[in-house]
Amino acid sequence: MTKAELRKVYLEKRKQLPENTINELSKKIAHLFFLQFNPTENQNIHCFIPIKKFKEVNTLPLIESCFSKKINVFVPKIIDTEMIAIELKENTQLSENKWGILEPSENRPANITHFDYIVTPLLYCDDKGNRVGYGKGFYDELFRTMPSTTKKIGVNFFSPLENIDDLRNEDISLDYLITPSEILSF
C-alpha cells in the first residue's frame, strides 16, 4: 500500500478505538518503554504530546513517569515550517495551537544537540522500521541531526502488517516500534 492509503486506513482504525481503550493501551506501551530502555536520571527524551482528535498514543503517562525519574523531557513545537524542541517541565504552560495540538507557550528552542530517545508519533510502521507519519517530514529532519546513538522509537496501537510501496530515500527508519503487546527492533 502507498503511504496515502496507509494513512487513511490507520487513521480510520484509530477512530474506532474508544478513549478508555486508548488510555489502557497507551499505559501498556509506556510500561514496555521503561521495561526495555530503563532510562536514567538526566537522560534526554524527545516525546510528542498526543493529538487527541487523531487518537494518538497517549504519551502523557510516559512523560509523567519521566518527570518522576528526573529524566529531561523535550517536546516538539512547530513554528512556521520548522519543528523545534522545547524543554517540558512539570509546570510548563501548554496551549492548543491552530491544529489542536497542545504545546508549550514559549517559542525559545532548547539548546540541545543530542537526545537519548526520540519517541515518535506515527500512523503506521512496517516490519523494517519504515514509518508513515502525517507527511511533513519533521521527524526525518530531526533524525538526520541526531547521532547514531539516539534511539528512534515509534509507538503504535497496531503491529506491522502491510508493506509501504512508496518509500523515499529521505525517509529514515526507526530503531524500535513499541505496541501494547511487543517491542520490535529493526
pLDDT of residue 99: 75
pLDDT of residue 47: 98
Q: Above 80 in pLDDT, residue 63?
A: yes
Q: Rounded to 10 degrees, what is the CA torsion of 119, 66, 94, 13?
A: 40
CB atoms within 10 A of CB 152: 23
Domain ranges of the chain: 3-126+161-172+180-185
Q: Above 90 in pLDDT, residue 142?
A: yes
Of the candidates 40, 76, 77, 46, the one whose C-alpha atom is nearest the C-alpha of residue 150 is: 46
The set of cell numbers assigned to 82 is 520548522
pTM here? Answer: 0.94
The overall average pLDDT reported for the chain is 95
C-alpha dist (Å) from residue 81 to 56, 86, 138, 141, 185: 22, 16, 9, 12, 31
The set of cell numbers assigned to 183 is 517491542
CATH entry 3.40.50.10420 includes domain 3-126+161-172+180-185: yes
Residue ranges of the binding site for ATP: 3-7, 131-139
Please give the span between the terminal C-alpha atoms of the chain, in angstroms, as a whole number.
20
Q: Is 31 exposed, middle or buried (0-12, 13-18, 19+ CB in 10 A)?
A: middle
Residue ranges of the binding site: 3-7, 49, 56, 131-139
User: Within 13 Å of residue 68, how many CA atoms lie on the same side as its CB?
Assistant: 7
The set of cell numbers assigned to 32 is 514496555
**How many residues can be counted in the chain?**
186
Residue 80's pLDDT band (boundaries 50, 70, 90)? confident
Q: What is the pLDDT of residues 102-119, one digit of tens each?
A: 999 988 899 898 999 999
Q: What is the pLDDT of residues 44-62, one digit of tens each?
A: 999 999 999 999 999 999 9
Q: What is the pLDDT of residues 85-105, one digit of tens each?
A: 999 999 999 999 877 889 999
Residue ranges of the binding site for substrate: 49, 56
User: For the chain, what percent of residues have pLDDT higher than 70?
Assistant: 100
